[in-house]
Amino acid sequence: MEPRPYHHGDLRAALIHEGLRLLEEKRGEEPSLREVARRAGVSATAVYRHFPDKQALMAALAQQGLQQLATVQNAASDSVGGGDEGFAATGRAYVRFALAHPALFRLIFTSPVLAAVREDGVLDSDAGALLYANAAAFAARAGGEAHARAIRAWSLVHGLAMLMLDGQIPADEALIDQLIRVQKQA
């Protein structure tokens, strides 16, 4: 096999890209470093330079997934002008992201990456925490009990995503719109 020429940073990005594709193709079964190398057209040795073991690769995939989720949430909020409508839009985007990328979504929430990011305080790059932070801001504006409302909002969208992914509730676009709307608080 003729190795393709990559700049250092480009190869890392290419490996993550191929890793994400393999993860979805294999329906969540973790790709090996060897498979990722083959897909990227490089040697296993080249991969080890960026990811010493599979755990390192999976952590990078989860981190990349978080960034993608944050991006679609931000775009969804911006598209309706932010505010309370924007917050509801981030919730719908969260569920739709899960349905579009089931293996990546499960990886994000079973990997230690999310917790590690949160402990670092890097909330902006953390989509779970992004939703959570948005929820807290929303709840604070609505008055009282901010923490509980933030976790309730996150739990609602996470539970809906999981029940749809596991086939317990139909993965119905209109249902997502109906369920996640701006709620008047009692």
Answer for the pair 55, 100: CB distance below 8 angstroms, yes or no: no
**174 lies in the site for its own copies, by CB under 8 A:** no
**55 lies in the site for its own copies, by CB under 8 A:** no
> What's the min distance (Å) between Cβ of 180 and its own copies?
9
Where does 2-53 have alpha helices with state H? 8-25, 33-40, 44-50
Q: Which member of 55, 79, 110, 125 binds its own copies (CB under 8 A)?
A: 110
60-80 core/surface letters (b: 16 or more CB in 10 A; e: else): bbbbbbbebbbebbbebbeee
**52 lies in the site for its own copies, by CB under 8 A:** no
**128 lies in the site for its own copies, by CB under 8 A:** yes
Distances (CA, A) of 48 to 4, 22, 57: 16, 18, 10
Q: What single-letter amino acid sits at 94? A: Y
Q: Which member of 72, 140, 162, 171 binds its own copies (CB under 8 A)?
A: 162
> What's the min distance (Å) between Cβ of 157 and its own copies?
7
90-115 core/surface letters (b: 16 or more CB in 10 A; e: else): bbbbbbbbbbebbbbbbbbbebebbe
**169 lies in the site for its own copies, by CB under 8 A:** yes
Q: Which member of 7, 8, 27, 184 binds its own copies (CB under 8 A)?
A: 184
Q: Which member of 44, 100, 137, 148 binds its own copies (CB under 8 A)?
A: 148
The smaller minimum CB distance to its own copies, of residues 121 and 167, is found at 167
Question: Where on the chain is the footprint of its own copies (CB under 8 A)?
Answer: 109-110, 112, 114-115, 128, 148, 151-152, 154-163, 166-169, 175, 178-179, 183-186
